[in-house]
Structure 1
Amino acid sequence: MAKTRTLVQKRHNPPTELELGRAEGYQAGWNEGYWFGQCESIISRIPPVTGFWPVHVMYVSTGKGLPYSPLDEAVKDTLSGMVAQLTVVKTGEPVAEIAARVRPDYVIVLDGLQFDVAQIDAMRALNIRTAIWFTDDPYYADITSTLAPHYDTVFTLDRNCMALYQERGCMQVHYLPFCAMPAQFRPMKPERSKRKEISFIGSGYMNRIQFFNEAASYLASRDTLISGIWWDRLKDFDSLRSIINLGDWLTPNDTALAYNASKIVINMHRAYDDPFNSNSLGVTASSPNPRTFEISACAVLQLTDVREDIASFYTPGVEIVTYESPQEMVEKLDYYLNHENERKEIAIRGMHRTLSEHTYAHRLHAMLSILFA
């Protein structure tokens, strides 16, 4: 009888903190593994982009460091699997001399703001065709509008710049928005100690500073990370210092890990009329920035400001969430932090849309189809 009573007492004793912690950790690990497995299952069923051109392409990389070096790597690695021969050179090298020797079918320049157009003119004089893909339209329109006419073909990542280049006499202008590189941005398993509720990775341009000033008290009340330069311009910077990694310029891998470690990632586009820009022409921006695709590729809920062209890429409320004011941003942050299933459903649909339609393979397939039609 005494032995039975002891067993009954043990059976009815409340679980210890250790037992509760073990059970909670087990459940969290199971949920994470199940989520990661869902993502991998969806990714495995997305058909690869196929296409091969028996041509010789010369690629002129920016030769810059971050944040351009990852773009260079993405273009180079993707092109190498799509063309018969790829010659890679950097801005600053004697590109025209090299092209005269190896005779590529097309020379593709990325960014081009620091590339001497005299080299383009020299290659065109040799009947070597040239193309440029502008990476920061329309923020440097004063400069790019003078560079574009030197090229045979112009690709812009913003729809609103097409008319500008056509007005400057460019005969072949194409809209080719940016995208994500799945090798760089994808679902990952970050350390639990790095997890955050909300994050924003990027520079503190003035439109962002003004916006975040109005949302500062809410962001400070949540487990938030802000990382980038110029955030010391915030009105309440001293009280927000603990959530800001000031001056950090993250690598693609670190950025992807930060996205994956967040429940929600805020995206806010740079203003077309920011004082830092070179856009006295006042060309407005309509298309999504590269961050739009990179966040979604990580299967994380993205909360982005409205851009005119965003619905061409994602269905708002289904694959991405948009906001138009600081108050609306805060309300939606709060809602989706408290509705996990809805948050995850939108995030995983956004990932599927990105990897199905918006990768470097998709964009360069479109580019090569145009150049070698």
Structure 2
Amino acid sequence: MSTAPRLLLISPSFHGYWQSIGDAFARRGYEVHTARYDAYDTMAEKVRLKATVQLPERLRLARDRQGVENRRLTDRVIAMMRGVRPDRVVIIKGDGLDDRFWDALGETPRILWLYDDLHRHDYTEDFLRSVGPVVDYARSETEELQRRGVDAHFVPNAFDPHRAAPTGHRSGEIVFIGSGYDNRLETLQTLGERGLPVHAWGRDFSRHVIDRARTFSWKRPPFTSSREVPLERAYQIHAEAAAAVAIHGLQNGHAMRTFEIPGMGGVQLVDRDDVDQFYEVGTEVAVWHDIDELTDLARRALHDTAWAERMREAGRRRTLAEHTFDHRLEEVDALWH
């Protein structure tokens, strides 16, 4: 009979990061069970969500359909929690669950892990002060939460070297993978207009009829684009590209891509000076501040292969030494009360 502590990981499905986190906990000796609270794995489930929640809310035909759906998902998670009877619980985001879940936790040790901006969640300060340790991916948010009496801890995002291996292929493209926010679209389109071989992946870029329906939009940018890809393939695309562009904008913390691109041996062109807390700027990653600087760096990545190869090697070496999920879980695992 297993004597390993039972850990229930409650997480959104978002790009399969639950798998990387769960695997890292398992390597630390836990018996890991996972509840993906927003899992819609079958086509029937996806169609039902679109028809009964997303479309009515977009057309303003019904009120609080998402609340009804959250109650259904909460019931499913509570049932799993009662079946697992975990010794410890880690909740990633948790914003798809209602108050009944937190009541059902009782005195079970828990950690709330926020790997997205705090303002994207509905948690009150009083709740965050009472819930237990809170892990936040942004240093600025962590410091602010601490000032407000929250037991908050800064743990950045990370890279999972177990998910995929570099292929050794080079595509000769300037790539971006992610959501098509306005600032990203504008940046990528300008690069394309300046003659750079831009290629973007994601439902907001894809011309496929299903993606246009999913995003309720027919308009698409003029540069090369493709459908969403699994995280493993995204990792490889970053490694294969001449360079990968990281565009944060107003995001408070560093996205997973900050660590994934160099982790795979990619050339990262990132828009954040504070990346220097993780990487040496100029040798492990390159930082840009405006479209002209980004254009120059992208052209250098295309033509100065010696510079690019040095950056690939140095960035990957740093990431594997300091910025994997195993490194992050060592920090998280020290927080149990």
Which TM-score band (shorter chain)?
Answer: 0.7 to 0.9
Q: Is the 8 A contact 2:192 2:223 kept in 1?
A: no
Counterpart of 1:254? 233
Change in 2 beyond 3 A, CA 1:136/1:129: same
Distance in 1 separating the partners of 2:281 and 2:147: 33
* TM-score, length of structure 2 as denominator length: 0.76
Instruction: Give the CA deviation at 1:69.
Output: 4.4
Counterpart of 1:57? 7
Instruction: Give the CA deviation at 1:95.
Output: 4.3
Change in 2 beyond 3 A, CA 1:139/1:350: farther
Q: Does 1:228 align with 2:189?
A: no
* Partner residue of 1:77 out of 23, 27, 42: 23
Counterpart of 1:107? 89
Change in 2 beyond 3 A, CA 1:207/1:84: closer
Instruction: Give the CA deviation at 1:98.
Output: 5.2
Matched residue of 2:111: which SS? strand
Q: Is the 8 A contact 1:120 1:130 kept in 2?
A: no
Q: Does 1:136 align with 2:109?
A: no
Counterpart of 1:295? 261
Q: Is the 8 A contact 1:318 1:346 kept in 2?
A: yes
Instruction: Kindly report the root-mean-square deviation, in angstroms, between the aligned alpha carbons of the 2 structures.
Output: 2.7
Between 84-93 and 346-355, the greater mean CA deviation after superposition = 84-93
Q: Is the 8 A contact 1:186 1:299 kept in 2?
A: no
1:229-257 Cα shifts (integer Å, max 9, x gaps): 4349xxxx88x635223xx2211122123
Distance in 2 separating the partners of 1:72 and 1:201: 19
Distance in 2 separating the partners of 1:362 and 1:199: 27
1:303-352 Cα shifts (integer Å, max 9, x gaps): 111243x1111010011000000000001111232211111101111001
Instruction: Give the CA deviation at 1:101.
Output: 6.2
* TM-score, length of structure 1 as denominator length: 0.69
Q: Superposed, which structure 2 residues align to 1:6-21 within 5 Å?
A: none
Q: Does 1:201 align with 2:182?
A: no
Aligned length: 287
Instruction: Give the CA deviation at 1:102.
Output: 5.1
Q: Superposed, which structure 2 residues align to 1:64-213 within 5 Å?
A: 64=13, 68-91=14-37, 92=73, 93-96=75-78, 99=81, 103-124=85-106, 127-143=107-123, 148-166=128-146, 169-170=149-150, 172-190=151-169, 195-213=171-189
Identical positions, percent: 22
Distance in 2 separating the partners of 1:260 and 1:185: 10
What residue ranges of structure 2 are gaps of 5+ in the alignment? 38-72, 207-218
Distance in 2 separating the partners of 1:102 and 1:257: 35
Instruction: Give the CA deviation at 1:168.
Output: 5.6
Q: Is the 8 A contact 2:188 2:198 kept in 1?
A: no
What residue ranges of structure 1 are gaps of 5+ in the alignment? 1-52, 273-284
Instruction: Give the CA deviation at 1:370.
Output: 2.2
